[in-house]
Each structure stands twice: as structure tokens, then as C-alpha cells.
């Protein structure tokens, strides 16, 4: 029986610059429902105990009325304001989850997360303390210099594309974020990276799904529409 508390932190405070749409991408409609609905639904139906939603104050009302109340997402226990960068939004989410033993940090712009992957992440974080979901990269990755000349080709078998959720023991990730925020030296783009740089602690990579895309640019919406229909 599960005795530890698991909190999902769902991030939806970005402005979606690369999508180039008026409405932030997490509120664009996918099969008639806001993109954000899908991630919240997956966590609502999972074994997590509760959900912290991170959004901009100007969208709080919309999220409450049109998503949380409308679809009865009762596990959403807090809505907190995000920051100017993703890592600042994560930090605000972490501060609202002090009751958790483990947190699962998830991009609200990844609608294809499912209960099975959430369950596997919960399992592994309980054993390992830190768990990252990803997929082996399909393409060869080249490192380039500032003039875009290739300088290195890392061995592809060691390269994984990082997805979310990323799950952590609460005390570990809170301490790591606190340290990185206080130092203010760099802008991290990844939560396991924060943990690793602040504490040296490794995060276990588990295989997610090639469908678990982050809707980022307009063509991702076309792909998302295909996935949702089959
Ligand atoms: N995010 C957030 N707060 C921010 C930036 C991002 O909560 N200040 C969230 C986004 O809403 C998204 C997730 O983090 O669900 C992943 O970020 P990304 O795909 O980069 O979204 P945006 O930052 O909104 O898009 P862009 O980088 O194209 O502006
Ligand atoms: Mg961004």
C-alpha cells in the first residue's frame, strides 16, 4: 500500500513564443479541449495524491472555470503563479508542495502523458529518489561551435531526449532548487540538471514514449492532432 504523498506539479505559465499564436499554446484546443486538460486528466486519474497547477495570474480564472471545475479535477489543490522562466515556475510549484514526499514535475504542454508512465515514474522515484523520463534519440546529434561548424559527434547510444515527468524526493529537489535560485548564476532548462549540478545526485532515466511530445512549434500541433485521433 502506498503511504508516501506524491504531488504532481503541472507547469502552464509559459507564453509559448515558438508557437507564435495569440493564445498561449497550453490553451489551444486539441479535439475540442484545451491542451492543458489532457495532462491534468492523466494526473487526476493516476495514483498521485494531489496536483499543483502553475499558471499566470491572468489565466487562473480560466483554468478554474473552464478546466478544473468543468472536468471536476478534484486533485488540483493549489493554483500558483509562475515566474518569467520555467525554472522559476518550478520553484513556485515546489514551494506550494511542502506536504509532499515526492513531486512529479510535468510540462502542461505534454498532453500525451498517461497513467502507465506516471505509475512507472512513481515506482522508480520511490526506489531511486530521482527519476527522469526520456527516449533514446533517433537522430545523430552533433555539437557545433558558435559559427555552426560541427566539432563533435557524441556516441548516439548514450544520448536520450529528456521528457517529463521528472520525479524527485521532495527534500532533495527543494534543497537543490533553493541553492540554484540563491546562486542565480545560470538558467537551467531541466530539473534533473538542477539536482545534478547542485548536489551531484544522479537521476535514473526510464523510457517514456515517442508520443510524449512537448507541443512547441506549429507542426507539433499537426502531430498532436494525429495522435489524438489514433
Ligand atoms: N513554463 C512555465 N513557466 C515559464 C516557462 C515555461 O510554466 N516561465 C511551462 C510551459 O507552460 C510549458 C513547459 O513549461 O508547459 C515547457 O516549456 P516550453 O515548452 O519552453 O513552453 P514556453 O516557455 O511557453 O514556450 P517558448 O519557450 O516557446 O516560449
Ligand atoms: Mg520556454
CA-CA distance, 117 to 121, in Å (whole number)?
6
Calculate mean pLDDT across residues 175-184.
Answer: 94
- pLDDT, tens digit (0-9, with 9 covering 90-100), for 5-42: 999 999 999 999 999 999 999 999 999 999 999 999 99
Residues having CB within 6 Å of any atom of ligand 1: 11-18, 26, 54, 82-86, 89, 107-109, 214, 216
**Residue 174 grid coordinates:** 527543494
pTM given for the model: 0.97
Cell of 154: 557524441
pLDDT band at 220 (very low <50, low <70, confident <90, very high): very high
Q: Please say if the pLDDT value at position 184 is more than 90.
A: no
List of E strands, the chain: 6-12, 29-30, 33-34, 50-55, 76-81, 102-107, 130-136, 143-144, 150-152, 160-169, 204-207
Pocket test for ligand 1, best of 11, 12, 14 (most atoms within 8 A of CB): 14
How is residue 5 written as a grid cell?
A: 504523498
Q: What's the pLDDT tens digit per position in 134-152?
A: 999 999 999 999 999 999 9
Write out the H or E segment, with its range, that includes residue 126: helix 115-128
Sign of the CA dihedral 130, 133, 136, 141? negative
- Give 17's DSSP letter: G
Is the pLDDT confidence value at 1 over 80? no
Q: Predicted confidence band at 2 (pLDDT cuts at 50, 70, 90)?
A: confident
Distance 151 CA to ligand 2 centre (A): 27
Question: Mapping DSSP to helix (H, G, I), strand (E, B) and coil, where does residue 50 land?
Answer: strand
Amino acid at each position: 500500500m502506498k503511504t508516501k504523498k506524491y504531488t504532481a506539479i503541472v507547469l502552464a505559465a509559459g507564453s509559448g513564443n515558438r508557437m507564435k499564436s495569440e493564445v498561449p499554446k497550453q490553451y489551444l484546443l486539441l479535439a475540442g479541449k484545451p491542451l492543458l486538460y489532457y495532462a491534468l486528466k492523466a494526473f487526476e486519474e493516476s495514483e498521485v495524491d494531489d496536483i499543483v497547477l502553475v499558471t499566470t495570474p491572468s489565466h487562473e480564472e480560466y483554468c478554474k472555470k473552464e478546466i478544473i471545475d468543468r472536468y471536476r479535477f478534484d486533485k488540483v489543490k493549489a493554483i500558483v503563479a509562475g515566474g518569467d522562466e520555467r525554472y522559476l515556475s518550478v520553484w513556485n510549484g515546489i514551494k506550494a508542495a511542502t506536504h509532499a514526499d515526492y513531486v512529479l514535475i510535468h510540462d502542461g504542454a505534454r498532453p500525451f502523458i498517461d497513467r502507465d508512465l506516471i505509475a512507472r515514474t512513481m515506482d522508480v522515484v520511490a526506489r531511486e529518489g530521482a527519476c527522469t523520463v526520456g527516449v533514446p534519440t533517433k537522430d545523430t546529434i552533433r555539437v557545433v561551435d558558435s559559427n555552426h561548424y560541427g566539432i563533435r559527434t557524441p556516441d548516439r547510444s548514450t544520448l536520450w531526449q529528456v521528457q517529463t515527468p521528472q520525479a524527485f524526493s521532495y527534500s532533495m529537489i527543494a534543497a537543490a532548487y533553493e541553492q540554484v535560485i540563491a546562486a542565480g548564476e545560470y538558467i537551467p532548462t531541466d530539473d534533473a540538471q538542477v539536482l545534478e549540478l547542485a548536489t551531484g545526485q544522479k537521476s535514473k532515466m526510464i523510457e517514456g514514449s515517442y508520443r510524449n511530445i512537448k507541443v512547441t512549434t506549429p507542426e507539433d500541433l499537426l502531430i498532436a492532432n494525429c495522435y489524438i485521433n489514433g
